[in-house]
Structures are given as C-alpha cells and as structure tokens.
Amino acid sequence: MKALVYLFEKKGIYKIGHSKDIKSTIKQIKPDKVIASLEVDQPENFEARLFRRYRKSRLTGSDYFKLDKEQVVDCIKQLGDKSQIPKNIDKEFSIAFTASVLFFIPSFFILSWIHLGMIKSMAIAFALSSLSFWTLFFAGSFGGYYSSDLPLFSAWQNRTKAVLFASGLTGLAISILTLGLKY
C-alpha cells in the first residue's frame, strides 16, 4: 500500500504524517508550507521511524513536532534520496541477514585458527550467526521505531521470518555438532 510520507509546517510547528491522497490532506490540514514528501511502500513504518528520530521534539500525543532548523534539514534529507532510515520493515530482515553473515565468517575463521576443529568451529559459527535473527524475533525491530507508533501486528511478518531463520541456523548448528561428535 503505497502512500506519501510528508513534512508540513503550520504556525511554526511541523507535522509528520502519511497520506494516500495528499491533496485532500492538504485541504484538511491547511499547512502554511509543504516542505517535503516521499512515496514509500510501508508509510506507517517509515513514519514511525521519523517519529522515533524526532521523539524529543514531539508534542505529546500528536503528530506535531517543534523541530529546530537542523532537524528540519535532516527530515528533508530523510524524505529524500539520501535517507539513512530504512524505508520499510523488510529492510530490518536484510540487516539481520547481513549481520548473520558478518557473525559467521569471522567467528568461523577465529574458531578454526584457535584449533577448535572444523566441525565444532562451523557449528558454533552457525549458532553465533543466528543471534541477529533471535534479536529481531524477540525485539521485533532493531530500535528504529516504537511499536506503539505502528499498526497492530505490522512487525509479525518480520518476527515470523526471523524465528524461522534463527531456528534453522540453530538447528543446523546442533545437527553439525551432533554429527561431528558421532564421527
């Protein structure tokens, strides 16, 4: 469900939100200025990440923020091509996968280097590589947003994939270790 995530200015305060129909949103809110917008696949998730990023400037219980000039420039950047914020929740799974590979490779070589044995080294490396997926499963995210800013159950798809991969890697580690101990 694509929609625009936007930054409006109205009477010196800023509104971060999302809309499928930006024209009707502008008519409803009547901002002084439309500062930036970006079309994304999962607008609630990206919006929640922006809410978290500017949480100290958020007006309690609203989508309005008292942003300083630096924060406005940063928000414009996040709503542009040079964004540092993942645009969708699936990006967190990609981050977990990358972390998994980065855990596996050095741990395997270090464990092999200390003469732990090829089988044990591989089993422990697979177990370590599952940690990022277990973290994603239990935490639901890597801290990019507050779950209260997301629609109910929106992180469950990621958690399900994470637990499947974590279980698979942990199971592989146990299988390798068990087979290695038999031979």
pTM tops 0.85, yes or no: no
Q: What's the token pair of residue 133?
A: 């997926």
Q: Is the pLDDT of residue 147 over 70?
A: no
65-74, 89-98, 148-157 — which one is most confidently predicted on average? 65-74
Tell me what the pLDDT averaged over the chain comes to: 87
pLDDT tens digits for range 69-90: 999 999 999 998 777 777 776 7
C-alpha distance from residue 158 to each of 95, 139, 140, 154 (Å) = 12, 11, 7, 8
Helices in the chain by DSSP H: which ranges? 22-29, 43-53, 69-78, 90-113, 118-129, 131-139, 156-182
pLDDT at 93: 81
At residue 146, φ and ψ (nearest 5 deg) are -95, 135
Neighbours of 91 (CB within 10 A): 18
Work out the average pLDDT over 116-130: 90
| Per-residue DSSP letter, 143 | S
- Antiparallel, parallel or unpaired: β 13-19 and 64-65: antiparallel
